[in-house]
Amino acid sequence: MSSHQDPLANENGRRALLQSIVALTLSVFGAKACSIMRFDEDARELVFEAVAGEGEGALVGRRIPASTGIAGWSLASEEPISIDDVLSHPRFDREVAEQTGYIPTKLTVFPLLHGEESLGVLSVLDAGATAHFGLAGMQSLGHFASHAAMALAAVEAARRGERSRAAAPLASLAAAIDSLDSERRRQTLALIAALEPLIRRQDDA
């Protein structure tokens, strides 16, 4: 399938999918900011994957510890939580300011549950700031969180597939190197080592 047919075939398409969800959530809930953060289990961090509203364009790729804060609570407990007066607690100020540069009054966080896994969190800042959010609002936002979880799962599956495809030739090369005699293995490894700076320069370009 060509990249034109598969929107998840490259990173731009994946970003666009997640961005469309936070933009829609922001719009529907009249929020000031909305983000999707992915849980990086190895690093024990939450990584911004998409941001709409305050912080848009500046936060994608930024990481925060997964073990603290309201987002951390939602991730660990696999439960949504909505807090109405964030300003009353200085810890929230720091946490949110570090994330977005925007201090909300209200913060609602939903876990992104897919199967039995908690993939990350959907955060909505100042949803319907002038209206009562209530149980019905939580229900609606839960649907958006379910949608975001499915999208993030699809994005992650596409990334894993890409990494797997990229690694396949290297695995084949490693097996070939293993079969060489010691002198030819040394020469081959030296050749690969010499290629590395060249590859890195192309990455930087």
The footprint of another protein (CB under 8 A) covers: 44, 67-70, 72-73, 76-86, 88-91, 110-111, 113, 116, 118, 133-136, 138-139, 142, 145-146
**Residue 19 or 82: which CB sits closer to another protein?**
82
**Residue 82 or 188: which CB sits closer to another protein?**
82
CB of 89 to another protein, least distance (A): 5
**Residue 11 or 85: which CB sits closer to another protein?**
85
Whats the size of the chain, residue-wise? 205
CB of 30 to another protein, least distance (A): 18
From the list 9, 194, 189, 39, the residue with the least C-alpha distance to 122 is 39
**Residue 77 or 187: which CB sits closer to another protein?**
77
CB of 146 to another protein, least distance (A): 8
Q: Which amino acid is at 196?
A: E
82 touches 108 (CB < 8 A): yes
CB of 53 to another protein, least distance (A): 22
The runs of H, that is alpha helices, within 40-131 are: 69-77, 90-100
**Residue 73 or 102: which CB sits closer to another protein?**
73
CB of 39 to another protein, least distance (A): 10
Torsion over CA: 115, 163, 61, 1 (sign): negative
**Residue 95 or 156: which CB sits closer to another protein?**
95
Pairing mode of beta strands 117-125, 107-114: antiparallel
Tokens matching residue 11? 């990173």
CB of 59 to another protein, least distance (A): 23
From the list 100, 66, 75, 76, the residue with the least C-alpha distance to 86 is 100
For residues 185 and 173, give the distance between their C-alpha atoms in angstroms, rounded to a whole number. 11
In three-state secondary structure terms, 109 is: strand
